[in-house]
Amino acid sequence: MKKRFWLIDADMTLFDYEKAERFALEAVCAACGVAFNQEALERYHEINESLWRKLERGEMTQDRLRVERFERFLRVVDSDADPADAAERFVEHLGKGCYLFPQSLSLLQNLRARGCTVGILTNGITAVQKSRFRLSGLMPYVNALVISQEEGVSKPDRRIVERALEVLRCPDKADAVIVGDSLTSDMQAARNAQVDGIWYNPKRLPCPADNPYIRAEVTQLHDLIQFV
């Protein structure tokens, strides 16, 4: 399986989103007078994950998600701070949390050197993703940054995949591959769009047998080069 057009996820594939999330949540807690500790992080994470699953199912907009997660979180930690203000503060700090995984830059450099066309396909917030990519040093090796908030549709909807392939001027889906860490977002998007997927699985979780579009699995980003 050799591919020329690459659609690569951002968070927890190229960027350590969990580290950025801790950084941003700590700033929000300080501003809201809430103790930042492991319990607070876990409560926020549970709330955020449940809302992102709703977004993936088309049950929630991203604009609503941004505020509702802090409505729920501040209620859980018994704070009367303004959720909308907390949401804006979180996005501001999240955009500064540019924490690349060690092999991210070299992966994109290698793909570009081998003549591949690279698109970033992300469900992240536009302001956050553009800020982090601007800080990351990755943009010289990226042909297109396709963000769900701008496109009005999120992974795993096949339409955002098709839009990304259109932007990259990919003539044939057989030449394309989707790479990401999420089974429910990235690999389901591969299935819905009938594009080959490579599951980035550094935690070595069990691979599902019911998704025929997961064509390969890697535990390190550099392992992707074999598919060029």
- Domain boundary among the residues 46, 66, 94 is at 94
Place of tokens 């599951």: 199
Same domain, 90 and 118: no
Q: Distance between CA 124 and CA 132 in Å, rounded? A: 11
Here the CATH number for the domain that contains residue 124 is 3.40.50.1000
Residue 57 confidence (pLDDT) = 87
Listed residue (137, 81, 76, 141) closest to 115, CA to CA: 141
Can you give the pLDDT of all 228 residues of the chain as single tens digits? 899 999 999 999 999 999 999 999 999 999 999 999 999 999 999 999 999 889 888 898 888 999 999 999 999 999 999 999 999 999 999 999 999 999 999 999 999 999 999 999 999 889 999 999 999 999 999 999 999 999 999 999 999 999 999 999 999 999 999 999 999 999 999 999 999 999 999 999 998 888 899 999 999 999 999 999
The helix/strand/coil state of 196 is strand
Q: Which amino acid is at 166?
A: E
Buried b (16+ CB within 10 A) or exposed e, 27-42: bbbeebebebeeebbe
Residue 1 confidence (pLDDT) = 86
CA 8 to chain centre: 9
| Domain interval for residue 125 | 5-15+100-227
End-to-end CA distance of the chain: 8
Same domain, 105 and 199: yes
Here the CATH number for the domain that contains residue 30 is 1.10.150.240
Residue 92 confidence (pLDDT) = 95
Number of domains in the chain: 2
Same domain, 66 and 135: no
How deeply is 226 buried, as exposed, middle or buried, from its count of CB atoms within 10 A (0-12, 13-18, 19+)? exposed
- Contact of 98 with 17, CB cutoff 8 Å: no
